[in-house]
Amino acid sequence: MTSSLSKRTLMLAVAALCAIGIVGGVAYAASLKKGLKVYVIPKNLGNSYFTTADSVKTDGALAALGTLGEKGTETSGTAATPASQLPVIQSSIAKGANALIISADDPLALCPTLKSAAAKGVTVVTYDSDAPTCRSIYVENAPAQSIGESEVVDMAKELGAAGGQVAIVSAAASATNQNTWIGYMKTELKKYPKLDLVSTVYGNDDPTTATQVTQGLLQKYPKLKGIISPTTVGILAAAEVIDKAKDIGKVLLTGLGTPLEMKSYIENGTSPDVILWNPARTGYIAAYAAVELASKAITDATGQTFTAGSFGKETIGPDGTIDPGGTTTFTKANVNQFHF
Partner 1 sequence: MSAAREPEAEPSEPESQRRLVDVVLRARTFGIIVVLGVLVLITALIQSRFVGGGEVRFILSQTALYALVAVGEAMVILTRNVDLSVGSVVGLSAYVSANMFGTHPGIPIVLVFLVGLGVGLGCGVITGAITAIGRVPSLVVTLAMLYIIRGVDTIIVGSGVVLASTEPNSFLNIPTATIFGLPDLALAVAVVVAIAAYYLNSYRSGRDLYAIGSDPDAARRAGIPVAKRVFTAFVISGGLAGLGGVVWASQYATIESTAASGLELQIIASVVVGGVAIFGGSGSVVGAALGALLLQTINSALNVIGVSSIWTEAISGLLLITAITLDRGIQLRVAAALRRRRVRLGA
* For partner 1, the closer CB: 111 or 245: 245
* For partner 1, the closer CB: 207 or 309: 207
* For partner 1, the closer CB: 54 or 188: 54
* For partner 1, the closer CB: 134 or 218: 218
78 makes contact with partner 1 (CB under 8 A): yes
**Minimum CB–partner distance for residue 34 and partner 1 (Å):** 26
Binding segment for partner 1 (CB under 8 A), chosen from 116-124, 143-151, 158-166, 232-240, is 232-240
Among 104, 236, 286, 322, binds partner 1 (CB under 8 A): 236
> Is residue 70 a contact partner of residue 35, using CB atoms and an 8 Å limit?
yes
- Which is it for the CA torsion 232, 62, 112, 301, positive or negative? negative
336 makes contact with partner 1 (CB under 8 A): no
- Cross-strand pairs, 251: 248
48 makes contact with partner 1 (CB under 8 A): yes
Nearest-angstrom CA–CA distance, 4 and 109:
72
Binding segment for partner 1 (CB under 8 A), chosen from 15-23, 31-39, 200-208, 316-324, is 200-208
> Is residue 285 a contact partner of residue 311, using CB atoms and an 8 Å limit?
yes
203 makes contact with partner 1 (CB under 8 A): yes
* For partner 1, the closer CB: 118 or 198: 198
How many chain residues touch partner 1 (CB under 8 A)? Answer: 43
The secondary structure of 34-56 as a DSSP string is: SS-EEEEE-S-TT-HHHHHHH-T
Cα distances from 158 to residues 91, 187, 197, 288, in angstroms, run 48, 19, 15, 38
Nearest-angstrom CA–CA distance, 54 and 218:
36
- Interacting residues toward partner 1 by CB under 8 A: 44-48, 51, 55, 57, 78-79, 173, 199, 201-204, 206-209, 211-213, 215-217, 219-220, 222, 236-237, 239-240, 243-246, 260-261, 263-265, 267
